[in-house]
Amino acid sequence: MKRDRFLVESPERIQFWRESAESGARAASFFVDTILQGLIVVIVVLISGGLSAFAKGFSQAGTAFLIILLFLVQWGYGFFFEVLLSGRSPGKLLFRLRVVRLDGESLDLRSLALRNLLRAADGLPFMALPLLGGFVSMADPLSRRIGDLVAGTVVVKDARQVLAEPATDLGALAPYGSAAIVCTPGNSLGEEELYIIRRFLSSRGSMPPPRARATAELLAAKAAKRLGIEAPAAGADPVAFLEGVYRGQSS
């Protein structure tokens, strides 16, 4: 298993893997969030500037409002959106990332509050340029910043991005229609090996012919060795051979 994967065990003992987000994706989503924060402030400043032109006496209350807005946007943005969008700020949403808890339990307000408060520690030397958090996240195998480490959270890739349906079988095998190559019952290929052959047989049309041929020869040699049979001769078609092996191994 890859190093940036970690096993989640939910409270009802269901186990599965999650993949943590890369530091690069996190930096990109941070960048988007920072720009959005800036935009929110700019838009409000423009609107209130327009209002103050009409309403006299607005300026004092307006200044107070702007200062508090700046504060809320700086400190509340992450928490607000992660609560609203269940663990995703707009930047994370864009890059299909989400915050989850490492222990597999429900996301909760306290973890989100803690990880967002600790932005102050990650945000050294400046909140807009969180070098410390960046370095920590690059050093951590799961790309966690200090806030994540303390709050017990991880930013993971949304599982939705890898949902490609598995093959039920190899559709139409055959320009060849080759006969099954039957071997002695003791020798057989595992499901993962059959998967590799199936992947090759179904995608070889999109490979450049010389490369497809080279791959087929390689796979045929390996399969033959594994099954203890003779590999196809130099002139023979390795694809037909692989197809025969696949047919012989399946039922």
Partner 1 sequence: MDNRPSTASGRFAGEGLPRWRRLRSLLESTRKKGPRALRYEAREFVRLYRSASADLASARSRRLAPDIVEYLNALVGEAHARIYDLPPLKRGAVGHWILNEVPARVAKAWPFVLVAAILFLSSWTLSFAAVSAKPATAAALMDRGTLASFDKMYSDPAFMKATGSEAAAEGSAAAVTWYIRNNVTVSFLSFALGAFFGLGSLVVVLVNGLSMGAIVGYVSASGHGRSIWTFMAAHSVFELAGLVLSAAAGLLLGWTLFRGGRAGRAAALKERTDDILALVTADVILTVGAAFIEGLFSPRRIGLDARLAVAFACLLLELGYFVVLPLRLRRRSKSLTAGGQAVQK
Residues paired with residue 157 on neighbouring β-strands, in sequence order: 97
- To partner 1, the closest distance from the beta carbon of 235 in angstroms equals 26
CA 204 to chain centre: 27
DSSP sequence for 65-82: HHHHHHHHHHHHHHHHHH
Q: What residues from 21 to 50 belong to the interface with partner 1 (CB under 8 A)?
A: none
- Contact window for partner 1 (CB under 8 A) among 36-44, 47-55, 58-66, 212-220: 58-66
Residue 144 contacts residue 84 (beta carbons within 8 Å): no
- List the beta strands (DSSP E) in 34-152: 97-101
- To partner 1, the closest distance from the beta carbon of 210 in angstroms equals 27
Q: What residues from 107 to 166 belong to the interface with partner 1 (CB under 8 A)?
A: 107-114, 117-121, 146, 150-152, 158-160, 162-166
- Spell out, one character per residue from 183 to 222, where the chain touches partner 1: x when CB under 8 A holds, - when not: -------xxx-xx--x------------------------
Nearer to partner 1, 150 or 221 (CB): 150
Task: Rule CB under 8 A: say whether 102 interacts with partner 1.
Answer: yes
Token readout for 22 is 């890369």
- Give CA–CA dist 111/130, Å, rounded: 20
Binds partner 1 (CB under 8 A): choice among 68, 129, 179, 218: 68
- To partner 1, the closest distance from the beta carbon of 38 in angstroms equals 17
Number of residues in contact with partner 1, rule: CB under 8 A? Answer: 75
Burial class for 88, CB neighbours closer than 10 Å (0-12, 13-18, 19+): buried
- Amino acid 142 reads L
Instruction: Please choose, from the candidates 83, 102, 87, 99, the residue with its C-alpha nearest in 3D space to the C-alpha of residue 10.
Output: 102
Task: Rule CB under 8 A: say whether 167 interacts with partner 1.
Answer: yes
Binds partner 1 (CB under 8 A): choice among 38, 42, 49, 106: 106
- To partner 1, the closest distance from the beta carbon of 64 in angstroms equals 4
